[in-house]
Chain A
Amino acid sequence: MPDLLLELFSEEIPARMQRRAAEDLKKLVTDALVERGFLYEGAKAFATPRRLALHIAGLPVKGQDVREERKGPRVGSPEAAIQGFLKGAGLASIDQAKIESDPKKGEFYVAVIEKPGRSTPDVLAEILPNIVKNFPWPKSMRWGAASREPGSLRWVRPLHSIVCTFGPETEDPEVVRFDVDGIGSGDVTKGHRFLAPDEIRVKRFDDYAPALERAKVVIDTDRRKDMILHDAKDLAFAQGLELVEDEGLLEEVAGLVEWPVVLMGSFDEAFLDIPPEVIRTTIRANQKCFVLRDPATGKLANKFLLTSNLIASDGGKTIVGGNERVVRARLSDANFFWKTDQQVKLEDRLEKLKSIVFHEKLGTQYERVERIAALAKELAPIVGADPELAERAARLAKADLVTEMVGEFPELQGLMGRYYATLQGEHASVAAAIEEHYKPLGPSDRVPTDLVSVAVALADKIDTLVGFWAIDEKPTGSKDPYALRRAALGVIRLALAGHNLKLSDIIWRHFARVREDAAQMQAIAHLAPVAERAVQLSAQGSDLAVKLLAIVREHHQDSLIEATSLEQAFYDYQATSDLLSFFADRLKVYLRDQGARHDLIDAVFALEGQDDLLMIVRRVEALGRFLDTEDGKNLLAGYRRAANILRIEEKKDGRAYNEVPDLQIVNDQGQIEEKILAVALYGEDGSREGARKAIDSEDFEGAMRALSRLRQPVDAFFDKVTVNAEDPALRANRLRLLNSIREATRTVADFSRIEG
Chain B
Amino acid sequence: MTATSRRIVLRALVLWGGLALLLVLPPAAALADQPFYLTLVTRMLIFAIAALSLDLILGYGAMVSFGHAAYLGVGAYAVGILAYHGVNAAWIQWPVAIVASALVAALIGLVSLRTSGVYFIMITLAFAQMLYFLGISLKIYGGDDGLTINARTDFGGVIDLASNVVLYYLVLAVLLGFLLLGQRLIASRFGMVIRGAKSNERRMRALGFPTVRYRLVAFVIAGTMCGVAGVLLANLTNFTSPAYMHWTRSGELMVMVILGGMGSLIGPIFGAFALLALEEVLSSYTQHWQFILGPVLILIVLFAKRGIYGLLGAARESAAAGPPAAGPPHG
A, B: real partners? no
User: Which B residues contact A (CB, under 8 angstroms)?
Assistant: none
User: Which A residues contact B (CB, under 8 angstroms)?
Assistant: none
